[in-house]
Structure formats: C-alpha cells, structure tokens
Structure 1
Amino acid sequence: MAATVTHYTLPRPEFSKPVKLLIVVAPYYKEIADDQVAGAIAEIEAVGGSYSLVEVPGALEVPTAIAIAENTSNFDGYVALGCVIRGETTHYDTVCNDSSRALQLMGLQGLCIGNGILTVENVEQAQVRADPGAMNKGGGAAAAALHLVALGRKWGAQTKGVGFKARSEAIILAESSIGPKNA
C-alpha cells in the first residue's frame, strides 16, 4: 500500500511591476480544459497579474502558439494547458513526447513556460488533476510560469513591457562601405 506523500509548494512570488501571461489551451476535452483554465486564472490573479487566453486545436499546437506569441507579443510568460488521454494507438506517445519536448526546448531558450498539459491513462485521472479544488494542475502550471518570470526579473533586467511589440516604421538598408558613394 502506497503512503500518502505531501508535496511542498513554493510561496507565491511577488511582483513590483505588472506581469502578463498568455494562457494557451487545447480544449479537446472541454470540461477538463475549463477546469485547468479556471485554476490558472485564479493563480495569476492571486499575484495581481493579468492574462490573455487563446485556444488551439490540440496539444501539439500549444508550443507553436507560444512561439508565435513570443515573436509577435510582449508576454512575460506562458501557461501551456491541455490533456492527452491514452488511447489504443501510439499517437498518445507522439503527442505527449513532442509537445513536452517543444515546450522544454523553448524553456531552455529562456521562455518562462509552465507546462500543464496533462498526460493521463483515463478521464478520471484527468478530472482529478484538472479540478481547481483537487490537484489543480492548471494553477500549478501558472505558478511555475510566474516563478520563472520572477527568477528572470531577479537575475536580469526586464527587457519587455506589457502588451505588444511595436513594428518598426522604417526599414534601414545597409550601405556598402566598398567604393565611392553615389552623389
């Protein structure tokens, strides 16, 4: 018989400047995704943060949406949510491994990502993990992203504001340094 294990949870980080996260969710299992999102939102709001929410078709699209947002927006961090339930084929393994690997690679490049994509054997496991009143994995993913944002701010200067990156209005062409310039 397995012993009950308690897990330590870090205290919530505190922010002196606004923090904005993007929640990217794959609502393939809508009720589970809704619970995950509710948990994530509650955690973000508990630290006074703000968020935007975007839905994508499935867990494999979550990392791509985060990469697009990183290149076009000014979010401080990201919360990846979704659920993959084992089926009868090896597709489960592909989706679990590839979505997780992509998120991890982006994290190693410096993005602050909380991975809340559930990988479970059945719906019952997913419901318990997604429930904000039970395991609250959506809230845990948001907390992870917030802690990483706090670390990034602690160890380096904040280089991003809140909102979207301004597009350059001018295009600067390099001049050739070889030969005379046209008059």
Structure 2
Amino acid sequence: MATAEQHHILETPKFDEPVKLALVISPYYKDIADDLVAGARAEAEKAGASVEVIEVPGALEIPPAIRIAHRQSNFDGYVALGCIIRGETTHYETVCNDSSHGLMLLGLQGANIGNGILTVETRKQAEDRADPDGQNKGGGAAAAALHLIALQRKYGAQRKGVGFKPGGRNDDDDGSFQIA
C-alpha cells in the first residue's frame, strides 16, 4: 500500500522572476478534478506562481491543449490534471498510454510538464490520490512542473559559445552566419 511507504519530497523551488503555470484539466470526474486543481493551486502559491486553468473534455485532449498553449502563449510550465478510471473495455489502456505518451513527447521537446493524470482501478483510489489533504497528486504534479522550470532557468541562460548564431551577419555583410 503506497500510503504506508515513506517518500522524500523535494522542497518547493524559489524563483527570482515570476512563474506562470497552465493547469490543463479534464473535469470529466468533476469532484476529483476540483481536488486536483486545489492541490496544484496550493503548490503553485507556495512558489509564488500564477495559474490559469484550461479545461478540455477528456484526458486525450490534454496533450494537444498543452501543445497549443506551449507554442502560442507565454506559460513557463504546464500541469496535466485528470482522471482515468478502469472500465470494462480496453479503452482505459488506450487513454492512459496515449495521454502519457503525448505528455512525454511534449516534455522531451522542451515543455515543462507535471503529469497529474490519475490512472486508477476504482473511484475510491482516485479520491484518495486527488485529496489535497491526502496523497495530493495535483500538488505533486505542480511541484514537478515547478522543478522543471527551475532546472530550465538554471541551465537555459548559459551559452556554450559553440555553433552558429542564427540571423547574424559578418562585418562584411555578405550574408554568412557568425560562428560563436
């Protein structure tokens, strides 16, 4: 039973510059979604981050919504929130795998994402995991996104001084690229 295990939780990162998070939520199970959002909001507030909630119909729409926001907005990170409860068909596996895979691909492309999409066998498991005073998986997903933002800010500004500078020109203005 996971609740009996001890886990190490990293401290909430501190930021010198403001952080803006998108909480991308599927409110399919509204009460569970509300708890996930409450936990994520509380964790974001601890870091001084602002949040915007974006609602989509289901878990499969969460990765495309994050992709749209990542390409067309100014969010620093994303918190994917939703719940998939096993039913009687294989649809459960499809939704779990495809939503998770979509989030991982976006993360590998540079989006800072905390995955708080619950994949559970029963409603009771979902309620326990979503409870902000319990397992608080919404808060954990927000913390994951915040840690990735902190890591990106730590290493993102450093330049190695190797390679080409796009759009740069040499002094003789012949249209060639500058080598850094």
Normalised by the shorter chain, which TM-score bucket? 0.7 to 0.9
Aligned to 1:58: 58
Matches within 5 A, 1:82-97: 82-97=82-97
Deviation at 1:76, TM superposition (A): 0.2
Identity of aligned residues (%): 68
Aligned to 1:161: none
Instruction: Give the 4+ runs in structure 1 shifted more than 2 A.
Output: 1-4
TM-score in terms of structure 2 length: 0.85
Gapped regions of structure 1 (runs ≥ 5) = 159-183
SS at match of 1:36: helix
> d(CA) in 1 for partners of 2:4 and 2:116?
23
Residue-by-residue CA offset, 1:67-100 (whole Å, 9 max, x unaligned): 0001110100000000000000000000000000
The number of residues matched between the two structures is 158
Matches within 5 A, 1:153-164: 153-157=153-157
Supply the AA of the counterpart residue of 1:155: Y
Residue-by-residue CA offset, 1:125-156 (whole Å, 9 max, x unaligned): 00000000000000000000000000000011
> d(CA) in 1 for partners of 2:91 and 2:148?
31
> d(CA) in 1 for partners of 2:140 and 2:3?
22
Deviation at 1:4, TM superposition (A): 2.8
Larger proportion of helix: 2
Matches within 5 A, 1:83-162: 83-157=83-157
> d(CA) in 1 for partners of 2:37 and 2:157?
30
Supply the AA of the counterpart residue of 1:77: G
SS at match of 1:74: coil
Gapped regions of structure 2 (runs ≥ 5) = 159-180
